[in-house]
Structure 1
Amino acid sequence: MDGRRGDTFGLTAFTSYGVFWMGLSFMFLMEWLGIVELSGAGLAWICISWSIFTAYMTVGTFKISKVHVIVFTTLTLLFWLLAAVFFGGLSPKVAGVVGLICGGAAVYGSAAVLLNATYGRWVLPIGLLTK
């Protein structure tokens, strides 16, 4: 739907992160089936790659909303922290806390988009920024 409306950011975000989750699930499935063995370093480099992509997506949020900025900023940080976890240099609890903040902001954002569109008014504010 984002593509039909000309929303390049939304189309890129939904498609890219959808592919991320499908790819990650496929990798874990292949490991579970005994076809490959995943290494912590390999997963760390995947997280670094996605943190770079997410960082420049974050720049795009500066013209959308404060909620988008929070979600993408914490997601960028989360990918970097997960890379540190997979390299063995950080407790997963730190990444977990950032993941909870990111997830909470994303849930709030999705609820705001749904409710605001349904009621045709601002039920939950998202802090619109200049487009």
Structure 2
Amino acid sequence: MSHLDQVASHRTSDTIEQGNGNHHHTEAKYGGGQSVARYLTAGGTPADSSNPAFPVYHRKLGNPSPLGLLGFGGTTFLLSLYNVNTRGINTPNVILGPALAYGGLAQLIAGIEEWVCGNTFAGTAFSSYGAFWISFACLYIPQFKIADAYAVAGEFDNAVGLFLAMWGVITFIFFLACWKSSIALCALFGCLDVTFWLLTAAFLAPNAKCGIAGGAMGIVTAFIAFYIALAGMLTPDTSYYTLPTGDLSRAKKNE
């Protein structure tokens, strides 16, 4: 008998055992050696404790919503600070970097991950607003010369106003579609829609007060996004407490 045959003759099959509420994976035994047991997560993967600073998540896919919400909220917060003339800043060009990377790319990634998780609403929302931030940044990238294409005074502002109005309509659609989700999410899209329409008026009127009001409402919107993102990260696996979001999914059933 060859050496490989001898090893194969001593090998036992893998088994999955249930004990004390934990899954155990019994490794194959070679040459009379002792079995090696590993804890399995609920998702069926070995529990990794190689990095004790991070908790072990018992799921196959992570929750991409906090990433999308923080990307959206962070970029909205920064632009809104410019809109209310914080520290006398009137030129918002610094927003280009965050708009492309965090508000744009990060949200697109979160949207794609939501599609994988089977969440149509979140996938559509994150992908849409990721595209919004990328397209908004493109308006102010000098190399694209979008503003230079408008020779008539005020024409570019009118075009941007109509661009924002389009997003006001899209946001209202999301607002109508989220009524069965949570109070926090309804508040987010409601405030965001008001923000878009105020900024639309600021460009079309033009009216500086509407721009400042839109910036103030944008700050409120950003903090709601921050709150929902934090609520999504404060899970029983990572936190001793959670944040309420006002679940509306069971409100109709409880009537």
2:114 aligned partner: 2
Structure 1 residues 78 and 21, CA gap change in structure 2 (3 angstroms): same
Q: Which whole-Å deviations, capped at 9, do the CAs of 1:36-77 have from their partners, x for residues lacking one? A: 316110110011100001001001110111110011000011
TM-score by length of 1: 0.89
Q: Distance in 2 between matches of 1:99 and 1:118?
A: 32
Unaligned 5+ runs, structure 1: none
> Which one of the candidate residues 182, 195, 216 is aligned to 1:97?
216
CA contact (8 A) 1:116 1:123 kept: yes
- The structure with more strand, counted as a fraction of residues: 2
When you count helix as a share of all residues, which structure comes out higher?
A: 1
| Kept in 2: contact 1:58–1:72 (CA 8 A) | yes
* Larger RCO: 1 or 2 (CA < 8 Å, sep 6+): 1
Q: How many residues align?
A: 129
Unmatched tracts of structure 2, length 5 or more:
1-112, 151-155, 251-255
Secondary structure of the corresponding residue to residue 114 of structure 2: coil
Q: Which has the larger radius of gyration?
A: 2
Contact kept? 1:78, 1:99, Cα under 8 Å: yes
The offset of 1:33, in angstroms, is 3.0
Query: Alignment partner of 1:62: what SS?
Result: coil
Q: Distance in 2 between matches of 1:57 and 1:17?
A: 11
CA distance in 2: counterparts of 1:34 and 1:107, whole angstroms: 32
- 8 Å CA contact 1:81–1:90 kept in 2: the answer is no
Tell me the distance in 2 between the aligned counterparts of 1:107 and 1:20: 19
Calculate percent identity across the aligned residue pairs: 26
Q: RMSD over aligned Cα, in angstroms?
A: 1.9
Q: Is the 8 A contact 1:116 1:124 kept in 2?
A: no
- The 8 Å contact of residues 66 and 126 in structure 1, kept in 2 or not, is answered as yes
Normalised by the size of structure 2, how large is the TM-score?
Answer: 0.47
Instruction: Work out the CA distance in 1 between the residues paired with 2:170 and 2:235.
Output: 29
- Separation (CA, whole Å) in 2 of partners of 1:34 and 1:128: 44
Helix, strand or coil for the counterpart of 2:117?
coil
Match of 1:54 in 2: 171
